Chain A
Amino acid sequence: MDNQIKNITNKYLNSKHRLMDIFHDIQKKSGYISENDIKSISELLNISSVDVIQTLSFYHFFKKKENAKYNIYINESIVAQMYGHKRILQAFENATKTKLNSISADGNFGLYSTSDIGMGDQEPAAIINGVIFPKITTYRVKEIIKEFRKGKSAQDLVNSFGDGHNQDNLIRSMVSNNLNRRGRVIFSGYNSEDALDIIVDKTPEEILHVIKESNIRGRGGAGFPIGLKWQYCRQATGKTKYIVCNADEGEPGTFKDRVLLTELPKRVIVGMIIAAYAVGASKGIIYLRKEYDYLIPYLKNSLTEAEKNNLLGESIKGRKGFNFDIRIQLGGGAYVCGEETALLESCEGKRGEPRNRPPFPIEKGFLDNPTVINNVESLCAIPKIICKGAEWYRSLGTKQSSGTKLLSISGDVLYPGVFEVEWGMTIKDIIDMAGGLDTKAVQVGGPSGKLISKKEFSRRIAYEDLSTGGAIIVFNKTRNILDIVMNFTKFFIDESCGSCAPCRYLTVILKNKLQKIIDGKGVENDLLELKEWGKKMKIANRCGLGQSAANPILTSLENFRSDYEDAVQSDKKYISSFDLEKSILAGAKAASRFPAV
């Protein structure tokens, strides 16, 4: 057996729960996980080889076959499309002499598509061997490939650094923060460590009280009250409790967590420590999406610093019995892992399939231990609440939505980027703030949210009105609504875990129907069916992904009806998609015939 594999699995105590890390390590060493590797892993971990394969094959970025020297993942999000994805893809195809989803004949270049990589404010973007290349032009494509052919590495081609800590020696990335607006909570100037000095003089119950009083709700999108979540977990029985930071932001159009992890890693860590103190947790995990793995050395350093300063480890801040440490769990490329129970499955080295609930993670989470899972942004807001108090926090925002919200704004705006605003802002003001012109539609909350038209621009972002995880994609009047909806629908198909039958395939059926309409072969009845079938997705599926997979279709049908009506042939009852000439081509060729139909 391969000693390398043995060393790697040994490093993770031959635990099947560390399969993700094992794959990452092997892939880093040899580029892919081979049949032999799979065999070795299954023997060393004493599991069947199909158990290895089921996890391995679930994630977008793990490769079972030999990889190219340069693996180019081109973002195919809607914003990338708006900013020239097609042109860039073509340029890559020409320069590498490779088609999408294949490896060039010389083995140098692998060309792949990938779902939103969290660079909506700097599209078109691609990941090449782990290095993010934002704002790519066709000129840049030629340059990159030329240099690669000379043997340069992806890191060698970093020709500028982004703003802020993107210039840090441990990051050195071309990614920009585009932090266009600092607010009063998250991006405010203060020392978050002060919060730890405050909490260690108080009881966990007192901390829970402050957080509950502050009325802060989860920032991932679902908006569950954080204080309650912590309290339930505190009350749950279990020896080891976990705090998990959900840094798997995958909703197309959101990138705020990337900026938080770049600029404020310490606040994220402090937020987790406070949560640990309040809940009585001793272990922490940061689940980081694979797309952001360029931040790992930097984040690991932040953790080491925290340990050095006695913020992590044993007897934190001198308080006996307050022990807490944090490790980073890297994902493998799966949007659904942003769903908290899927995230836990992934942390356990399994396929990222959402669990049935109950039991909820606060009772049975990571390895069946009581677990709190909080969004990066939620955790970042916590230290300030401790420092300034619940009442101060509640004075920001609206009645039911306290505090501030980070918005990731992208699309047809002059100033895409991250904005910290108070809850309660209208969509119109948001568009104006970011410099949107001739705006036709706004996607609030990413594809799983709503596509709204002008008549709703006076609505406010707040839990009591339009609740959102913060992704705001702006479309101007030149954009085709049906193309947008198609992009989102395909995204959900690609990212479905495949467990629930309706999410697995009704999405494909809906896409085919939408394509029929886009192809000009739709009739009125198709619109009716889209709506009727789409509505079923909401009630039929287990998790948020499946339940919202038809949202792009449903909300656009409601708000942009005329775009659909223009696309269908209203005078016909039935249109066949069948094309006789095309469908006899293969048959004629096989029989060496060249017919006139």
Chain B
Amino acid sequence: MNKPIIATTSLAGCFGCHMSILDIDDKILELIELVDFNKSPITDIKKFTRTVDIGIIEGGCCNSENIHILKYFRDNCKTLVSLGECAIMGGLPAMRNNIPIEECLKEAYLDGPSTHNPEGIMPNDEELPILLNKVYPCHEIVKIDYFLPGCPPRADLIWDALTALVTGEEMKLEYGVFKYD
């Protein structure tokens, strides 16, 4: 049987969820036995080279690029998993959702106490993605099949979920395995 193939990405996240994937410690060796990785920061494969079985999304969507990548994942993954609070509900980046976007940008680039920007230039290069009006949970953009909460999700939870997905067995979900922080 072919090994299931996994892809991962980090959208509006901090890579903490990816760190948590690595945090499964020596089980990572077991994992490598079980699965192969395709597009992922872990492999540094930039583009999907084939349809993969499981796509893991860290982070929510805060800009236009996040949207494109999320849709790219949906198109190329049979199953999508939202990993962590940001992917699930926007997380900390979404704390800007009730602040007008101009205010956010001004605070960050013009008025912030640690900002030095005498020309008062707002980042506006064409190459830059454009901020969305708010930070969106991933499942408001595309269909997401599974959700793993936590900030970051505990390594045990990731391991349990991945093995469940790969083996088709149900997760036990014992107390303490998942947290929202």
Chain A 337-356 against B: per-residue CB contact (8 Å), 1 yes, 0 no? 00000000000000000000
User: In the complex, are the beta carbons of B105 and A591 less than 8 A apart?
Assistant: yes
B140 to chain A, nearest CB (A): 6
A308 to chain B, nearest CB (A): 61
* CB of A576 within 8 Å of the partner chain: yes
Question: For window 10-58 of chain B, which residues contact chain A by CB distance below 8 Å?
Answer: none
Note all chain B residues with C-beta closer than 8 A to A582: 133
Docked pose: A592 CA to B120 CA in angstroms: 12
A509 to chain B, nearest CB (A): 14
Given contact pairs A580-B67, A597-B64, A588 touches B130 in the complex (Cβ within 8 A): yes
Note all chain A residues with C-beta closer than 8 A to B118: none
SS of A interface (majority):
loop
Note all chain B residues with C-beta closer than 8 A to A573: 143
Number of A interface residues, CB 8 Å?
Answer: 20
Given contact pairs A587-B132, A591-B123, A591-B124, A578 touches B102 in the complex (Cβ within 8 A): no
Note all chain A residues with C-beta closer than 8 A to B133: 582-587
Docked pose: A102 CA to B131 CA in angstroms: 32
Note all chain B residues with C-beta closer than 8 A to A590: 101-102, 105, 122, 131
A578's partner among B101, B105, B140, B143 (CB-CB below 8 A) is: B140
Chain B 141-179 against A: per-residue CB contact (8 Å), 1 yes, 0 no? 111000000000000000000000000000000000000
Docked pose: A30 CA to B122 CA in angstroms: 49
Note all chain A residues with C-beta closer than 8 A to B122: 590-592
User: In the complex, are the beta carbons of B141 and A584 less than 8 A apart?
Assistant: no
* CB of A505 within 8 Å of the partner chain: no
Chain A 560-595 against B: per-residue CB contact (8 Å), 1 yes, 0 no? 000000000000011011101011111111111101
User: In the complex, are the beta carbons of B132 and A584 less than 8 A apart?
Assistant: yes
Note all chain B residues with C-beta closer than 8 A to A583: 132-134, 136
Chain A 24-55 against B: per-residue CB contact (8 Å), 1 yes, 0 no? 00000000000000000000000000000000
Docked pose: A593 CA to B105 CA in angstroms: 13
Note all chain A residues with C-beta closer than 8 A to B67: 578, 580
Number of B interface residues, CB 8 Å?
Answer: 21
User: In the complex, are the beta carbons of B131 and A584 less than 8 A apart?
Assistant: yes
A591's partner among B131, B134, B143 (CB-CB below 8 A) is: B131
A569 to chain B, nearest CB (A): 14
Note all chain A residues with C-beta closer than 8 A to B131: 584, 586-587, 590-591
Note all chain A residues with C-beta closer than 8 A to B134: 583
The residue in chain B whose Cβ has the minimal distance to the Cβ of A589 is B102
B54 to chain A, nearest CB (A): 18
User: In the complex, are the beta carbons of B141 and A592 less than 8 A apart?
Assistant: no
User: In the complex, are the beta carbons of A595 and B143 less than 8 A apart?
Assistant: no
Given contact pairs A576-B141, A597-B64, A587 touches B130 in the complex (Cβ within 8 A): yes
Given contact pairs A590-B122, A591-B122, A576 touches B130 in the complex (Cβ within 8 A): no
* CB of B63 within 8 Å of the partner chain: yes
Given contact pairs A587-B132, A591-B123, A595-B130, A577 touches B101 in the complex (Cβ within 8 A): no
B28 to chain A, nearest CB (A): 33
Docked pose: A574 CA to B139 CA in angstroms: 10
Docked pose: A464 CA to B102 CA in angstroms: 61
The residue in chain B whose Cβ has the minimal distance to the Cβ of A574 is B143
User: In the complex, are the beta carbons of A593 and B130 less than 8 A apart?
Assistant: yes
A584 to chain B, nearest CB (A): 4
The 6 lowest CB-CB distance pairs between A and B, nearest first, are A587-B131, A574-B143, A590-B102, A584-B130, A583-B132, A591-B124
Residues of B within 8 A of A (CB): 63-64, 67, 100-102, 105, 122-124, 126, 130-134, 136, 140-143
28 A-B residue contacts at CB 8 Å?
A573-B143, A574-B143, A576-B140, A578-B136, A578-B140, A580-B64, A580-B67, A582-B133, A583-B132, A583-B133, A584-B130, A585-B133, A586-B100, A586-B102, A587-B63, A587-B130, A587-B131, A587-B132, A587-B133, A590-B101, A590-B122, A590-B131, A591-B123, A591-B124, A593-B124, A593-B126, A595-B130, A597-B64
Additional A-B contacts beyond A584-B132, A591-B130, A592-B122 (4; CB < 8 A): A576-B140, A578-B140, A586-B133, A589-B102
